[in-house]
Amino acid sequence: MQPLINKYIPKATKEILGQEETVGKLKNFILNFKNEKKNAALIYGPSGTGKTCSVHAISGELGLEIIEVNASDFRNAEQIGQKVGSAIKQQSLFAKGKIILVDEIDGLSGREDRGGVQAITKLIQDSSYPVILTATNPFDNKFSSLRSKSSMIEFRQLDYLSIFAILKKICDGEGIKHEDDVLKALSRRAGGDARAAINDLQTLSNSKKELTKESLQELSERNKTDNIMTALNKIFKTTDMKIAISAFENVEEDLNEQLLWIDENLPKEYTKPEELAKAYDMLSKADVFSRRIRRWQHYRFLIYINALITAGIASAKKEKYRELVQYKPTGRVLKIWWANQRNAKKKEIARKIAEKTHSSKKEIIKNTMPYLPLMFRNKEMRNRIVGYLDLNEEESEWLKGKS
């Protein structure tokens, strides 16, 4: 089956939602190119907001041919000459018009790419057709010369209702059953990135063509696990300390859970005893230090813990193990999670009692909660408690289970 993200690429500009004005500007730039002061337009803005697909949709509508080059091609000036050299020359009056698209110029980075920026500048000067550059962040110093030679057109982050409309259309096209609220929640969490939203929708509708509240829960669990798996993979498979040390950058789990995940999976990956021992040594140091840090509240030292469990563990091996290992969540993580869930109900009930009785939650947990299940055995008393405290079904079930 074709991925949704490919199947629903906007073919016409009217299908590009939430960017009407911006797309209009871009289209005008291309239409009026002969009279424009600048030879290029630099379109910029966050990922998944329609930059690349707008250029394609406009060229389709205007019957123009796109000559697309990737910014990284510019690393080699000769290569770029071959690729677009002849394409940018003015051709006969009757030939099809063209757009030169240099996508994702952020790809050029560092010193070695100075030449790349120069090569693009030259392309802009020489081209007899509109040159469109795209970038997510064009305000880096290295792009200053490109900015001054281009019309700047900003794509804003999409608002969630535009994303909602995009997803809704896909759901209708695919026959995916959904509640609007769930689809809206999905749209909000994409953070203005339509590509991310469509991919989330794909993930959720792969197994069944229905979106429910549970799907959202499933998605957030899945994302969390994906992130931690990627992190483990980085730490275990790399010998490059720079890569290892950033492994947990996108991981939400707290330090304790990171330690547990490593603890569970380390012995599956590192099979040479001396390397395993070295890695566990790092892990146990991290564990001991993290306790001390918490105890003394010297939180600024936490970065050292991160170094131990990322670069430290990565460096315990001489070379990477080639076997593919399926990393698993630890049983302990699950148990902790369940314990937290149970505690969450207890705390919530205690909060309700504390509010009604004007006392502290801590006090209630200590002195009242132990007796509550007893009182709950009596049906009449139970009903009165439920009514008085306004307990929901889950909470009263939980208490019933205790009595």
Ligand X SMILES: Nc1ncnc2c1ncn2[C@@H]1O[C@H](COP(=O)(O)OP(=O)(O)OP(=O)(O)O)[C@@H](O)[C@H]1O
CB of 249 to Mg ion, least distance (A): 23
Residues between 50 and 89 that touch Mg ion (CB under 5 A): 51-52
For residues 100 and 365, which CB has a smaller minimum distance to ligand X in the complex?
A: 100
For residues 7 and 292, which CB has a smaller minimum distance to ligand X in the complex?
A: 7
For residues 49 and 265, which CB has a smaller minimum distance to ligand X in the complex?
A: 49
Please measure the distance between the N-terminal and C-terminal CA atoms of the chain and give it in whole angstroms: 52
CB neighbours of 29 closer than 8 A, spacing ≥ 6? Answer: 36, 41, 130, 151, 153
d(CA 366, CA 360): 10
Point out the residue whose Cβ comes nearest to Mg ion: 52
Residues near ligand X (CB under 6 A):
5, 8-10, 16-19, 47-53, 104, 136, 158, 166, 194-195, 198
CB neighbours of 14 closer than 8 A, spacing ≥ 6? Answer: none
Judged by beta carbon distances under 5 to 8 A according to partner kind, the member of Mg ion, ligand X, none in contact with residue 4 is: none
For residues 53 and 80, which CB has a smaller minimum distance to ligand X in the complex?
A: 53
Secondary structure percentages of the chain, helix, strand, coil, to 5? 65, 5, 30
CB neighbours of 215 closer than 8 A, spacing ≥ 6? Answer: 182, 204
Judged by beta carbon distances under 5 to 8 A according to partner kind, the member of Mg ion, ligand X, none in contact with residue 116 is: none
Q: Which two tokens stand for residue 172?
A: 């209708």
CB of 63 to Mg ion, least distance (A): 22
For residues 193 and 269, which CB has a smaller minimum distance to Mg ion in the complex?
A: 193
CB of 41 to ligand X, least distance (A): 14
CB neighbours of 301 closer than 8 A, spacing ≥ 6? Answer: 289, 293
Residues between 15 and 54 that touch Mg ion (CB under 5 A): 51-52
Cα→Cα distances 42→33, 62, 80, 102, 130, Å:
14, 19, 19, 9, 11
Judged by beta carbon distances under 5 to 8 A according to partner kind, the member of Mg ion, ligand X, none in contact with residue 50 is: ligand X
Q: What is the DSSP letter of 95?
A: S
CB of 276 to ligand X, least distance (A): 40
For residues 12 and 334, which CB has a smaller minimum distance to ligand X in the complex?
A: 12
Point out the residue whose Cβ comes nearest to ligand X: 50
Judged by beta carbon distances under 5 to 8 A according to partner kind, the member of Mg ion, ligand X, none in contact with residue 53 is: ligand X
Cα→Cα distances 389→40, 349, 352, 397, Å:
66, 8, 6, 14
CB of 7 to ligand X, least distance (A): 9
Binding site for Mg ion (CB under 5 A): 51-52
